[in-house]
Structure 1
Amino acid sequence: MANLGNLPMVATTSSFAAIAMILLVSCLCGTDAQIGVCYGQFGDNLPSTQDVVKLYQSNNIKAMRIYGPNQAILQALQDSGIKTILDVPNDQIQSLASDQSAAMQWIKSNVVPFASSIKYIAVGNEIHPSYDQQASSVQPAMKNVLNALNANNLGDQIRVSISIDTTLLKNTSPPSNGQFDEKYTSYINPIIDFLTSNGSPLLVNVYPYFAYIHDKQNIPLGFALFTATKTVVTDNNLNYNNLFDAIVDSVYAALGKAGAPDMEIVVSETGWPSAGGDSASTDNAMTYYRNLIEHVSQGTPLKGGKAIETYLFAMFDENEKTEDETERHYGLFTPNQQPKYGQLNFS
């Protein structure tokens, strides 16, 4: 998730979506509303990888995101029926960008033996050109990774993308005003061109929680939790009663202005913490997850009926995370594999 420090506030009721797009951290989307769950591992009390895969299977969770090529996890996923977003860790991007042979070896070691369970490769997570030195290497790394996939006859099976947060956007009030900040066009435009040329989706991390806690005066809790009973934002005859849709449609609007109006969006992270901060509670988190799962099959007002492939963050509470306290309380399950919110219908 992105650092939210020193981001601008918007203080008018008409600009809920703008707040969301500025503040948020961080498809082959298909026609189904595939619900996946991110599998983070910053904990010293987590189950074995084999038990984790069994837990996914027993809960009918058919998609997973992992944040690096963990061989034990990839091996356990074989023949599991679970498809995976596999991240290239941020600290490996520059080496893959500068050396095609390094990308070839990365794919040979981490993808080829496990290709049947890998759906997307995310080349980086929430890279920001203002402060991440890897930014200029992202698109070259994506090209080298795709070249390596093609060399192994996997380019049509596995899509190459990147997972961004929404701090790259501006002017997002209302959602149709969404656009990528001009300061970042030299970074994001080549990535969008690459995705367009190769039929890949853009992966986006979407967090209504952060927008809400930074402007509770103007954002109703129900708008963030999918419980609003009436329209909160109207935009070109489109009515928004939840913040998630407003965020996603702002990204769609930005893609349209960048020349990619038909690009798919995969929500590669979204969640609500159950403890550790303002409005972080079990009740709020349960409400968010339950309503989100029921909602994503409907699409957004801009893309009505187009199901949104969505990955919930995260499978477990992770007690070794070092960021804000809320980061340790996003788990859908406790480390002893008990559901925190009862039986969620992941299918």
Structure 2
Amino acid sequence: MSSGFRLIFAASFVLMLFGTCNGSKVGICYGRNADDLPTPDKAVDLIKNQNINYVRIYDSNIQVLKAFANTGIELMIGIPNSDLLPFSQFQSNADTWLKNSILPYYPATKITYITVGAEVTEARDNSSSMVVPAMINVYNALKKAGLHRRIKVSTTHSLGVLSRSYPPSAGSFNSKHAGFLKPLLDFLAENQSPFLVNVYPYYAYRDSSNNVSLDYALFESSSEVIDPNTGLLYMNMFDAQIDSIYFALAGLNYKTIKVKVTETGWPSKGSPKETAATPENAQTYNTNLIRHVINNTGTPAKPGEELDVYIFSLFNENRKPGLDSERNWGLYYPDQTSVYNVDFTGKGTVDVNNGGNLTTVNGTSWCIASSNASEEDLRNGLDWACGSGNVDCSPIQPSQPCFQPDSLVSHASYAFNSYYQQNGATDIACSFGGAGVKTNKNPSYDNCLYMTAGSNKTAANNVTTGANATSSGRREFSLPNPYYFLLMIVFTWIQFL
């Protein structure tokens, strides 16, 4: 084999491997159940300005589809529950819809998913029986157009489709939906379509705050919840809820079906009893969620597994019925001003405006242990920072520069600050359940130097929960171990050819 051909072969192989490592994606839900929303063109400009490349809409509105043309943004479009009957009854209805509502705008408008119905198991009517026939007809229409491999067909679910979700390993589908789920899961498995689920830790906390801590719901917990059946450790409710779906699928022997999250988020305002619905908590949840997802952390049961999520929602929607929180899930008000800011790249820090209270400190700041924190909170925070938080705690070991004074407060302060600086120096990164506080006074002493943002180059390079970024917030790409070793074998083999 000539050296030139070897080089071409190696390059092609590397590209092939990189092509298999797409990584998890974060998108936004663009609902329009509100008054005075901006035009679709302006909404698309807003989405583009936020570097959002994946959007879910709930119908096939022509003006919306036109607005996304030639943007490169991937769309998940919906067929409402009200249309399930005609779509399920006649193939011609699905064919006509595709011909008139989709094909004129495709592929300029990049449609990648069609959801047929939404949370039908929650509906009061018997619409669930119509979902799979409608999905089959939509799939057949796509197949006639040669698009069945490019556009996937599925339907969305609430977590109520499960009869049990705790512990995650006990996750199981509600038997009353068996007649609907069996043909649905067969369809998904046969056509390599994902199981789409809406996941809301907010509701779990709101409805059971005695059993679920706010920190656990917000990705802020410093202690693990152990699944007694598997020994798996959970640092947040989101992962636990996702794994309950995976265990439910595995329990029915559908182990190849992937899970995608079509809705998740946190409201910024609620009714008087919804005290956790605040801009601060909403930003905390969504910021931590994005970082968790783009780091390709996966879940305890599926480590490293790709998991796409769509944050709900782009705008507050004032026409929605129910409690005040139902109308306050948006990142933006209808006038396009921010409810709070979220960085969809997960690379930098963000500021809250328009009434939010989570801010980035101007200038240099440090994070230290609060003098008012309990010994238990300090110990939990220290153990978490030096473990799952991926902090290099060697400087606080005996004979090292920061070991003295040998006190829990001193050691926790060093670990808290290291985590704080490695994760963008945001308020969120100095929380530790209230055990951390920020200071503008440098806590360094003698030879014990406290890190500042940008001073650490390696501590966050290991792939652990929530930590796969350098201190500057820039994500590093690394091949998964199996691909790395395979690549080394191939290059070694090429050298001998």
Relative distance call for 1:194 and 1:329 in structure 2 (3 A) is: same
CA contact (8 A) 2:226 2:234 kept: yes
What are the equivalent positions in structure 2 for 1:17-36 lying under 5 Å apart? Answer: 31-36=22-27
Describe the superposition over 1:100-129 as per-residue Cα deviations: whole angstroms up to 9, x where unpaired.
Answer: 000101111222123331111000110017
What are the equivalent positions in structure 2 for 1:162-181 lying under 5 Å apart? Answer: 162-181=155-174
- 3-state SS in 2 of match to 1:128: helix
Q: 2:67: which partner in 1?
A: 76
CA positional deviation for 1:163: 0.4
Distance in 2 (CA, whole Å) between partners of 1:119 and 1:94 is 23
Q: 2:34: which partner in 1?
A: 43
Q: 1:288: which partner in 2?
A: 285
- Point out the more displaced range, 165-174 or 44-53: 165-174
- Point out the more displaced range, 297-306 or 69-78: 297-306
Describe the superposition over 1:70-101 as per-residue Cα deviations: whole angstroms up to 9, x where unpaired.
Answer: 10000111111111110101000111000000
Distance in 2 (CA, whole Å) between partners of 1:92 and 1:295 is 36
Code of the aligned partner of 2:33: F
CA positional deviation for 1:183: 1.3
Distance in 2 (CA, whole Å) between partners of 1:133 and 1:344 is 41
What are the equivalent positions in structure 2 for 1:206-285 lying under 5 Å apart? Answer: 206-235=199-228, 236-277=230-271, 278=274, 279-285=276-282
- 3-state SS in 2 of match to 1:56: helix
CA contact (8 A) 1:129 1:184 kept: no
CA contact (8 A) 2:168 2:243 kept: yes
CA contact (8 A) 1:31 1:306 kept: no
Q: 2:494: which partner in 1?
A: none
Distance in 2 (CA, whole Å) between partners of 1:183 and 1:318 is 33
Describe the superposition over 1:14-71 as per-residue Cα deviations: whole angstroms up to 9, x where unpaired.
Answer: xxxxxxxxxxxxxxx9742211100011111211100111111111100111111110
CA contact (8 A) 2:286 2:342 kept: no
Q: TM (normalized to structure 2)?
A: 0.63
The RMSD of aligned alpha carbons is 1.5
CA positional deviation for 1:346: 3.8
Describe the superposition over 1:327-347 as per-residue Cα deviations: whole angstroms up to 9, x where unpaired.
Answer: 110011122222222242346
Distance in 2 (CA, whole Å) between partners of 1:61 and 1:68 is 19
Q: 1:339: which partner in 2?
A: 338
Q: 1:6: which partner in 2?
A: none
Decide which of 150, 155, 159 is 2:143's aligned counterpart: 150
Unaligned runs of 5+ in 2: 1-19, 347-497
- 3-state SS in 1 of match to 2:104: helix
- 3-state SS in 1 of match to 2:78: strand
Q: How many residues align?
A: 319
What are the equivalent positions in structure 2 for 1:27-176 lying under 5 Å apart? Answer: 31-116=22-107, 117-128=110-121, 131-176=124-169
Distance in 2 (CA, whole Å) between partners of 1:46 and 1:103 is 30
Relative distance call for 1:53 and 1:129 in structure 2 (3 A) is: closer
CA contact (8 A) 2:94 2:141 kept: yes
Q: 1:192: which partner in 2?
A: 185
Describe the superposition over 1:269-306 as per-residue Cα deviations: whole angstroms up to 9, x where unpaired.
Answer: 00110002311111110100000000113111111111
Distance in 2 (CA, whole Å) between partners of 1:130 and 1:81 is 34
Q: 1:15: which partner in 2?
A: none
Code of the aligned partner of 1:267: V
CA contact (8 A) 1:164 1:204 kept: yes
Q: TM (normalized to structure 1)?
A: 0.89
Relative distance call for 1:46 and 1:130 in structure 2 (3 A) is: closer
Relative distance call for 1:275 and 1:128 in structure 2 (3 A) is: same
Relative distance call for 1:30 and 1:318 in structure 2 (3 A) is: farther
Relative distance call for 1:141 and 1:171 in structure 2 (3 A) is: same
**Greater C-alpha radius of gyration:** 2
Task: Percent identity, please.
Answer: 39
Distance in 1 (CA, whole Å) between partners of 2:93 and 2:33 is 27
Distance in 2 (CA, whole Å) between partners of 1:283 and 1:42 is 24
Q: Does 1:319 align with 2:312?
A: no
Code of the aligned partner of 2:145: N
Task: Report which structure shows greater RCO (CA 8 Å, sep ≥6).
Answer: 1
Unaligned runs of 5+ in 1: 1-28
CA contact (8 A) 2:283 2:342 kept: no
CA contact (8 A) 2:41 2:67 kept: yes
- 3-state SS in 1 of match to 2:261: strand
Following TM superposition, where does structure 1 have runs of at least 4 consecutive aligned residues deviating by more than 3 angstroms?
none
Q: 1:329: which partner in 2?
A: 328
CA contact (8 A) 2:169 2:227 kept: no
CA positional deviation for 1:172: 2.5
Code of the aligned partner of 2:248: A
Code of the aligned partner of 1:306: E
- 3-state SS in 2 of match to 1:266: strand
- Point out the more displaced range, 261-270 or 226-235: 226-235
